[in-house]
């Protein structure tokens, strides 16, 4: 199928679309298997704005054009999208049948002009596939693609930082780069990024998308007339867990509303269904959603739309607050290398890697499946106890450090890694079958450090070996830049 052929127009330009091919292939193949009844109905689970609809549009387009309408075994794609407004069962039945007949005729005749507002529905028992946030490796790739496509100017070191600050959400990442292009501002450091984020959250692309989503959802569930206040008061909670008693008291103070905890809880459950907060179904615990941008937006939205503060004053205050935020990343290049190392571990699951990549005695077996890979992992409270990368398969653990220094790394770093190893062994005891330490040092290691690592079976890779490893597992090499690399507003050549 040509990328210009489609039955449903996609929103994301092909030049920008990143890292969802596995999901597209999964649903395309599942659809074809349904011809012989070898597929269950399947739902794609994930937070809003992660790209679920884009995936299904691409699957439907592929099914429409990759099958001949006169072949014996085929699957007719039907796409139905529920509207946000309430409709009766009778209205739904009419719309669905009308939609189905149009898709049937359009596919048989290969005439997409017969389609309008394509939509789709599934019923019954479901299998499921999860869609997660981008890893920062693919978030970096999207950042660079979007910067090039929209004409934004970013320092190469900032691409993965943008992904991290946006929670790996493709919509937020793209919105930030579009806003940078609109403002004609470079993103060369965290201060630049903070200002762009503040502008977009308070008045830009993110504001427009999220305010529309929040308004439509509240309109559906606002039977008690206090949903806006409850959402705003939840957003300004100081901690992560939301205190319902505090919300009850604040409603009395702010709007003279006396409402029971059970009613507040009922509204909070409905807000959770709209992906605005999170709710534990087996308890009474409500927490802020794992979406850093949405949480910041809800505070700004509440001050403007609920508390009725002056919009311009709130925009100005938001920009000032964001610009004052402390640096979260003290070594951009080191963080970038961590991002690439993490993606190597994901891509290498259940593989054997050559010892030459790691200066090791024997080839290295990567666990069959990592349960999670944590970045900037803290073993416990205190100083100098952070681990750059902590990956667990349950019975096997990998701990890794990343150092992008101009000079070779010495024994201090190795001793730090050995200390971290002791902590894990003391904590996990006999539960572990394997604990692997891995060091990346851009400029290599000293002779003393190399000897200490040999004695303790610590793996290590310099820039040369890491690039070879990246190429072996099908990933990009480390970007080429030195400590003095900068991008000015006039430099459009972001690759």
Domain check: are 359 and 459 in the same one? yes
- d(CA 461, CA 441) in angstroms, rounded, equals 6
303, part of any domain: yes
In sequence order, the β-bridge partners of residue 390 are: 374, 399
- d(CA 127, CA 457) in angstroms, rounded, equals 43
Which backbone phi and psi does 146 adopt, to 5 degrees?
-65, -40
Task: Say which CATH number the domain at 249 has.
Answer: 1.10.10
In sequence order, the β-bridge partners of residue 437 are: 399
For 336, the domain range is: 332-472
Total structural domains within the chain: 4
CA distances from 27 to 20, 63, 130, 278 (A): 11, 10, 12, 28
Domain check: are 215 and 105 in the same one? no
Q: What residues of the chain score a pLDDT lower than 70?
A: 1-5, 84-86, 116-117, 119-128, 223-224, 281-284, 377-385, 481-495
pLDDT at 95: 84
pLDDT at 298: 94
Domain check: are 183 and 214 in the same one? no
Asked whether the whole model's pTM tops 0.85, one would answer no
Domain check: are 219 and 160 in the same one? no
486, part of any domain: no
| Neighbouring residues of 254: CB distance < 8 A, sequence distance ≥ 6 | 229, 233, 307
Count of positions (residues) in the chain: 495
Pairing relationship of beta strands 277-279 and 286-288 according to DSSP bridges: antiparallel
Burial class (CB in 10 A: 0-12, 13-18, 19+), 455: exposed
Domain check: are 269 and 348 in the same one? no
69, part of any domain: yes
Domain check: are 54 and 181 in the same one? no
pLDDT at 489: 36
266, part of any domain: yes
490, part of any domain: no
| Neighbouring residues of 324: CB distance < 8 A, sequence distance ≥ 6 | none
pLDDT at 379: 52
307, part of any domain: yes
């Amino acid at each position: 199928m040509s990328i210009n052929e489609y039955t449903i127009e996609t929103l994301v330009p092909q030049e920008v679309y990143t890292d969802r091919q596995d999901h597209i292939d999964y649903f395309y193949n599942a659809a074809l298997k349904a011809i012989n009844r070898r597929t269950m109905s399947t739902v794609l689970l994930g937070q809003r704005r992660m790209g679920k609809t884009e995936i299904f549009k691409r699957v439907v387009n592929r099914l429409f054009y990759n099958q001949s309408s006169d072949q014996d075994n085929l699957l007719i794609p039907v796409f139905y999208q529920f509207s946000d407004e309430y409709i009766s069962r009778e209205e739904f039945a009419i719309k669905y049948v009308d939609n189905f007949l149009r898709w049937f005729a359009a596919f048989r005749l290969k005439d997409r002009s017969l389609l309008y507002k394509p939509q789709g529905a599934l019923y019954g028992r479901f299998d499921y596939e999860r869609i997660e946030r981008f890893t920062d490796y693919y978030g970096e790739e999207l950042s660079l693609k979007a910067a090039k496509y929209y004409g934004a100017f970013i320092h190469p070191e900032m691409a993965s930082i943008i992904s991290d600050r946006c929670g790996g959400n493709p919509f937020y990442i793209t919105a930030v780069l579009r806003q940078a292009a609109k403002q004609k501002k470079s993103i060369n450091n965290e201060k630049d990024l903070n200002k762009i984020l503040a502008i977009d959250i308070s008045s830009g692309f993110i504001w427009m998308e999220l305010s529309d989503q929040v308004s439509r959802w509240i309109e559906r569930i606002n039977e008690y007339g206090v949903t806006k206040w409850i959402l705003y008061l939840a957003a300004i909670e100081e901690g992560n867990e939301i205190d319902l008693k505090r919300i009850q008291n604040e409603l009395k103070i702010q709007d003279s509303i006396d409402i029971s905890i059970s009613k507040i809880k009922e509204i909070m459950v409905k807000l959770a269904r709209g992906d605005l907060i999170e709710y534990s179904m087996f308890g009474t615990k409500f927490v802020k959603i794992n979406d850093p941008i949405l949480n910041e937006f809800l505070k700004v939205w509440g001050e403007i739309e609920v508390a009725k503060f002056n919009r311009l004053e709130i925009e100005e205050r938001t920009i000032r607050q964001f610009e004052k935020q402390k640096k979260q990343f003290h070594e951009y290049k080191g963080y970038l290398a961590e991002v690439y190392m993490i993606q190597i571990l994901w891509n290498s699951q259940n593989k054997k890697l050559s010892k030459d990549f790691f200066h090791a005695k024997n080839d290295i077996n990567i666990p069959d499946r990592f349960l999670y890979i944590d970045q900037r992992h803290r073993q416990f409270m205190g100083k100098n106890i952070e681990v750059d990368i902590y990956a667990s398969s349950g019975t096997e653990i990998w701990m890794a450090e990343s150092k992008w220094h101009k000079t070779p790394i010495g024994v201090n770093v190795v001793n730090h890694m050995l200390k971290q190893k002791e902590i894990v062994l003391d904590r996990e005891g006999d539960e572990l079958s394997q604990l692997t330490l891995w060091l990346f040092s851009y400029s290599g290691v000293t002779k003393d450090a190399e000897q200490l690592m040999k004695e303790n079976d610590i793996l290590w890779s310099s820039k040369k070996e890491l690039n070879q490893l990246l190429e072996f597992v099908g990933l990009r090499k480390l970007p080429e830049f030195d400590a003095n690399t900068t991008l000015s507003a006039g430099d459009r050549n972001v690759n």
